[in-house]
Structure 1
Amino acid sequence: MFTLPILDVKADALDALLAALGFRLQSLITSRSNDALNGLIDGKNITIQFKSPTTNRYYEFRDGIFNHALGNLTDADLTIDFKDSVTGAKLLTKGDVATFMTAVQDGDVKITGDYKLVLWLSGIAKHATKVPDKYKNYIDTAKPFAEQALSIIKSKLNK
């Protein structure tokens, strides 16, 4: 495992995902252009710690300002501890709270702190993962190529 020092991101599936989401959130929150997102974060003072055996990253929301970094907070309002990095990345990319809660029941995720913040974070993440309209045509153009590449990869793996 190594860290990319310029971006402070580990070469780890979960950390890369959390860092990318963090950079997107930072951009959206700094621009203040999304009123719905602004309403969710304004006046909030919340820290969320994400953990796995290979990474520790936290998100910090303070009075409408967002920060994220590698590291471990001992006093986070919510701690989400994944059994491993791949499980964390899969659950977060799925974006389904019900699946997430099932993983908690199965022991794949341990949550400490205010459970209501899981739903709050889900609402925040939906704003960050929405593709802006000006980029939708690019994605529609790229989809057939991505599907073709995926089928080639699958055929190579099955050999």
Structure 2
Amino acid sequence: MKFPLLLWALSLLMKKAARNNPDFRKQLEGKDFAFQLQTADGGIVRQFVVANNSIRSKRKAHSNPAFTISFKNADTGLRILTSKDKNAFMRAIQEKDIAISGDLSLVMWFQSVSKYLKPSKKK
């Protein structure tokens, strides 16, 4: 149950960054594609649509995602997406805990914008 909640929270963080973070908004300029994060069996899936300098998200598979990141299972997805280890994602690919299909340049884009999605720390 925690993995679907994490994917939903990720969509909220992306929407907030699209509204409030000029650096993130700049990364959205000219982008028009969909991607999805899911478990390997497709039991848990969330699509993200990048268009018009904004992000929309739904809890269902997209008919034509530009890329898909599939995690071995929900626990693995939760562990990797919440890891503080900067190499966790790459290690998971090497260990086949993650499978990626589609446009790898857009996967790299997703990895690069993830730095804007950290919750802000209270001062």
TM-score normalised by structure 1 residue count: 0.69
Of structures 1 and 2, the larger Rg is shown by: 1
Aligned residues: 121
**Pairing partner for 1:100 from 76, 89, 100:** 89
In the other structure, the counterpart of 1:156 is none
Closer/same/farther in 2, CA of residues 74 and 105 from structure 1, 3 Å limit = farther
| Structure 1 position 13, deviation (Å) | 2.0
Deviations 1:5-46 (A, max 9, x none): xxxxxxx222111100111211221x2x32211110011012
Q: Is contact 2:6–2:78 with CA below 8 Å preserved after alignment?
A: yes
In the other structure, the counterpart of 1:35 is 22
The aligned runs of 1:85-124 (5 Å cut-off) are 85-94=74-83, 98-124=87-113
- Code of the residue aligned with 1:60 in structure 2: it is V
Q: What CA distance in whole angstroms lies between the structure 2 residues aligned with 1:47 and 1:101?
A: 22
Q: Structure 1, unaligned stretches of length 5 or more?
A: 1-11, 138-159
| Structure 1 position 91, deviation (Å) | 0.8
Q: What CA distance in whole angstroms lies between the structure 1 residues aligned with 2:79 and 2:106?
A: 20
What do you get for the CA RMSD once the two structures are aligned?
A: 1.8
Q: What CA distance in whole angstroms lies between the structure 1 residues aligned with 2:11 and 2:25?
A: 16
Between Structure 1 and Structure 2, the one with more helix by share is 1
Q: Structure 2, unaligned stretches of length 5 or more?
A: none
Identity value in percent: 26
TM-score normalised by structure 2 residue count: 0.87
Q: What CA distance in whole angstroms lies between the structure 2 residues aligned with 1:108 and 1:28?
A: 28
Q: Which runs of 4+ in 1 moved over 3 A?
A: 95-98
Q: What CA distance in whole angstroms lies between the structure 1 residues aligned with 2:11 and 2:84?
A: 15
Q: Is contact 2:17–2:25 with CA below 8 Å preserved after alignment?
A: no
